[in-house]
Amino acid sequence: MKKEQLIKQYKAIYKKSPTHIIRAPGRVNLIGEHTDYNDGFVLPIAIDRYTNMLISQNDDRKVRLFDLKYREKEEFNLKNIEPSRQKKWSNYQRGIAKVLLDAGYKIGGMDVLIFSEVPEGAGLSSSASIEIATLLSFKELFGLDIKRLEVIELARKAENEFVGVQCGIMDQFTSLLSKENNALFIDCRSLEYQYVQLSIQGYSFVVCNSMVKRKLAESSYNQRIQECREAKKILQKYLSEITSLRDVAINDLEKYKSYFPEKLKKRVEHVVFENERVKQAVEVLKKGNLEAFGELMYQSHKSLKELYEVSIDELDLLVEIGMNEPGVLGARLTGAGFGGCVIYLVEDSSIEHLKEKILDVYWGKTGLIPQFYKVVPSRGVYM
């Protein structure tokens, strides 16, 4: 929807004009899955789909929300912020307001119109885009002096504590700091980051939504985090200097793997080698070696399927179709898994053929009609 149309809608609902428009993108992770909460490495891009928030202040300490996609409204009072059971979608805004107030920031009421272009439940971080847009809305309207890393930490805290998902920092980081035509190489321990220019002329990243909806909070995501903690504890008995699975060297893994129950051994193995793959990915992308990058994508998927066990048949099928298609250099599930999307790196001239093939085979086998998004590495939040 065009900016002018959104402003028109805002005026119709609130009988005034918005003072700011904030746009925060969703993201897709190129490689480095389930490594962020293990203090490891990730390589995501922001995508050209944004959550738009049109905002202005009000005087009565209430946050009024209108979601244009669902044509639903909701409001809450800053004096007493509780999670909503009926309108769960408003818990992101509630959570952000709560963490800001708890951190001592002075905020007031605002009137908000939300229009998100980020598909929900697809693993493209619609939630992080809403969190970042909400946080930046308060920041702009009330002149909050918050450093960038604190924005990321607070947004993550809101999701951890208010929405109940123990996510890492990748999604909020990406929505805030991404740059056009670049991937973001993040060290999730030091929080240092580097832009990696993507020279992919003639190729594109295509995302295919399996249409199997992920329910992150209820899913096994939190369980995986728990398993990583357990594995870390076991290792710490032998290697006291280890503070997260990020610290486990390949040699250590070989040396100590017999001390783990089978399941935990597989989890550690995934994390250790996935971190290596991210570092290799940065190197090969810098050299423009897309074939090598594609190979790393396939390896990552295999590991997520066999070792981390977060894939499902539908995602495996989508990756397999890619493997057998000319012009496809790599494919893997992206995001938490258990549903959601697969990302392909594919030659532009082969995109249509790939889509047709997927529609045919995937629909035939699952009865689901997948959706496609050609994604462009885009800039982070802006006004």
Q: Which residues bind ligand GLA (CB under 6 A)?
A: 33-34, 36-37, 167-168, 170-171, 335-336
Q: Are 32 and 274 in contact (CB under 8 A)?
A: yes
The CB-of-380 to ligand GLA minimum distance in angstroms stands at 16
Given 171, 252, 316, 360, the catalytic residue: 171
Phi, psi (rounded to 5 degrees) for 284: -70, -35
- Output 53 or 336, the one with its CB closest to ligand GLA: 336
Kindly list the distances between the CA atom of residue 382 and the CA atoms of 23, 112, 245, 305, in Å, as whole numbers in the listed order.
5, 16, 34, 36
Is 171 known to be catalytic? yes
Instruction: Give the residue carrying structure tokens 């959570």.
Output: 95
The CB-of-28 to ligand GLA minimum distance in angstroms stands at 10
Instruction: Give the residue carrying structure tokens 């179709």.
Output: 321
Per-residue buried b or exposed e for 274-308, using 16+ beta carbons within 10 Å of the residue's own CB: bbebbebbbebbeeeebebbbbbbbbbbebbbebb
CB-CB neighbours of 17 under 10 Å = 10
CA pair distance 127, 279, nearest whole angstrom: 27
Residue ranges in the chain assigned as alpha helix (H)? 3-14, 91-102, 126-142, 148-157, 170-177, 221-236, 250-256, 262-286, 290-306, 313-323, 351-366
- Output 148 or 287, the one with its CB closest to ligand GLA: 148
CA pair distance 106, 57, nearest whole angstrom: 13
- Output 36 or 111, the one with its CB closest to ligand GLA: 36
- Output 331 or 336, the one with its CB closest to ligand GLA: 336
CA pair distance 371, 358, nearest whole angstrom: 10
Cα four-point dihedral sign 277, 223, 188, 197: positive
- Output 18 or 340, the one with its CB closest to ligand GLA: 340
The CB-of-48 to ligand GLA minimum distance in angstroms stands at 19
Single-letter amino acid, residue 282: V
The CB-of-219 to ligand GLA minimum distance in angstroms stands at 10
The CB-of-336 to ligand GLA minimum distance in angstroms stands at 3
DSSP for 353-373, written as a single string? HHHHHHHHHHHHHH----EEE
- Output 9 or 220, the one with its CB closest to ligand GLA: 220
Cα 352 to its chain centre, rounded Å, is 26
The CB-of-307 to ligand GLA minimum distance in angstroms stands at 14
The CB-of-188 to ligand GLA minimum distance in angstroms stands at 9
CB-CB neighbours of 244 under 10 Å = 17
Catalytic residue positions, numbered: 171
